[in-house]
Chain A
């Protein structure tokens, strides 16, 4: 039963129950006759409406016409059945346009007029008109109300259209932002802004901003002030209290020096969710007023920051998905075909009778093997990702060691990784840049040694990849510069606000070997209290 079927049944049943009740109450035979006729007409109309494809409008038209005939024939005794005339017009109104209302009401009037004009009824024409006219007008009015109601009900579909339209507009804006990349939606500069606000409200403070990353780890997005990195760690009872209550928590630091005696932990809230915290150490407890206005400002900043983080995450997920898909495609397609070609060549080598021929085939076979190895490494490249538990350092060393030993490069890896993590998206881009640099060294330089230095002190990180190959002097200016993925490396670096430096391993620009350095964040914030002067 469709919705319009149900509506039809409800309207008819309501009016019929009313008129039947009245008819029975007045024990008027003419009214009963009229009622029975109308019930019959209504039932036929509903059955037709349910089982045929005839337009609702024509059914209502015929129903109205016959109902008008039946009622007017039994007038004036059936006076109380007249309200039923409202039903077809009302349904026509709800179902569609004003034009249908006029049409159905018109046919009802025609039906009434025919009978009354012919004088078929027991009453005179004038008296009949007097009885019927108000109901004809009333049904017309009900029809208009129905039409208005119908349009109101129909309205959400137009609102939907509008919201799709605005969603599309938002998405195309997003696309524009995504093209321009970091501008405006860059988590690091947003964090910087938030910390500046903290600095303004709490006075001369040292502060840090942490956001929750995948796996529930709090990752630093920015530090402010001397020695902030060493002393502001995302742990302790103030952080826990702030996180669980979603309100600022502050208290004295038992061992704090004068200028950092009081620690304040501020929540970064997005709606009813915590997305991170700001930790600030200041000389004294914050003023309640300052805290309130700071909190208002941070709430606004947090929303923006959350959006930026979600945006990064979406982009990173989409890329990951695509890489996995391409890896599967290579694995199941071209790689297997080339491998089977290799097996076919093995057959030819085994059955070759001529030594020279066998040697030629063996050479081709080893070339095919090389292609398959290359495809295996491409699949490995595409599939390598950073496990939420292990972090960039272990992903990078796993990648470099595997690729190094598969391609005969001697790998010299130094890894200096702090236990705090970079954001997932930053880790991913850094890994990809390093992968690209290693691939260049492997494929194009004829290098024997590969040096990879990785220093991670969130939010600062620096990865240097060097080789002793032919160098990039001609590559950077050569016609095939783009095929070395330099463009993609730069794009990736831009996406996370990192700087990419590509040059020779020697100071001499035409020297041997290539050095690729990618740096993210500010190194000065990672200095140790003694300026790194420790033994």
Chain B
């Protein structure tokens, strides 16, 4: 009886019954979990979560009446301590970041074994406000690396000075290089950005995020 406090209840939300069954078995064979209920839609998920007050909700992304991320947002808005695991068949990063932004505690893909889902649920119950995903680091790297034209560090410096309205001579003085070197940097920038003149280079750089409008 002393273990009773330890048993965590989980609500499974997925519109595929076989998936729910498989997950339910996985949770039931784990001593510290019990399946409180199952739902096949966002609406049922919200109402069952209210009635059953589970410790963890495991939800699919694609549901018949909306997305699992809608469900996450709605649950998270009034249950800050609820563990939420997002389960998906999709392979794109947007679902992972969508889950992160919606307030999920963990993200698992459907090619992972059911034990991974149980482990994620356990993590979610312990630390609902953190975020765990198997390839989070990869996804972050993909997100952070720029995809547009890429300037070298030196060229970026020159670009900022160009945006400040400095002439070639002034840029050369500022960077302690010869004027011809400064010119080379500038023409390289124009070429990379596909610009014909300074104004165009600056506007393209702004648009592609190479130059922030608040840059000094």
Contacts and interface: CB of A to CB of B under 8 A. Distances in A.
Contacts of A351: 29
A336 B22 contact: no
Contacts of B150: 415
A350 B115 CA distance: 10
Given A380-B90, A405-B135, A343 B187 contact: no
Given A230-B196, A339-B110, A331 B148 contact: no
Contacts of B142: 398, 401-402, 405
B29 A376 contact: no
Given A376-B111, A405-B135, A346 B196 contact: no
A335 B91 contact: no
Nearest to B109: A376
Contacts of B188: 534-535
B208 interface: yes
Interface residues of A, number: 49
Given A340-B16, A405-B138, A347 B92 contact: no
Interface in A359-414: 365, 369-370, 372-373, 375-377, 379-380, 383-384, 390, 393-394, 397-398, 401-402, 405-406
Nearest to A375: B89
Contacts of A347: 22, 25-26, 29, 114
B147 A379 contact: no
Contact of B111 (A372, A390, A398): A372
A343 B23 contact: yes
A394 B147 contact: yes
A18 interface: no
A419 B21 contact: no
A332 B61 CA distance: 11
A372 B184 CA distance: 52
B5 to A, nearest CB: 25
Given A340-B21, A343-B23, A376 B110 contact: yes
Contacts of A342: 22, 111, 113-114
Contact of B90 (A339, A365, A379): A379
A416 B109 CA distance: 33
B79 interface: no
B113 A346 contact: yes
Nearest to B92: A380
Contacts of B193: 419
B147 A335 contact: no
A335 B62 CA distance: 13
Nearest to B110: A339
A418 B194 contact: yes
Contacts, number: 125
A377 B91 contact: yes
A347 B111 CA distance: 15
A427 B171 CA distance: 38
A343 B196 contact: no
A332 B15 CA distance: 9
B32 to A, nearest CB: 15
Contact of A372 (B25, B110, B145, B200): B110
Interface string B8-24: 00000000101101110
B157 interface: no
A241 to B, nearest CB: 19
B112 interface: yes
Contacts of A369: 111-113
Interface string B43-84: 000000000000000000010000000000000000000000
B101 interface: no
Contacts of A417: 148-149
A346 B23 CA distance: 10
A510 interface: no
B207 interface: yes
A233 interface: yes
A372 B204 CA distance: 42
A506 interface: no
Given A340-B21, A406-B135, A415-B150, 4 more contacts: A336-B19, A372-B111, A384-B92, A416-B149
23 contacts: A233-B196, A332-B16, A335-B89, A336-B19, A336-B110, A337-B18, A343-B18, A343-B21, A343-B113, A343-B114, A346-B26, A350-B29, A351-B29, A369-B111, A369-B112, A376-B91, A383-B90, A401-B142, A402-B92, A405-B138, A457-B194, A534-B187, A535-B188
Interface of A: 230-231, 233, 235, 331-332, 335-337, 339-340, 342-344, 346-347, 350-351, 365, 369-370, 372-373, 375-377, 379-380, 383-384, 390, 393-394, 397-398, 401-402, 405-406, 415-420, 457, 528, 534-535
Interface of B: 16, 18-19, 21-23, 25-26, 29, 62, 89-93, 109-115, 135, 138, 142, 145, 147-150, 184, 187-188, 191-196, 200, 204, 207-208
> Top 8 A-B pairs ranked by shortest CB distance?
A343-B22, A340-B18, A418-B194, A372-B111, A380-B91, A394-B147, A376-B91, A339-B110
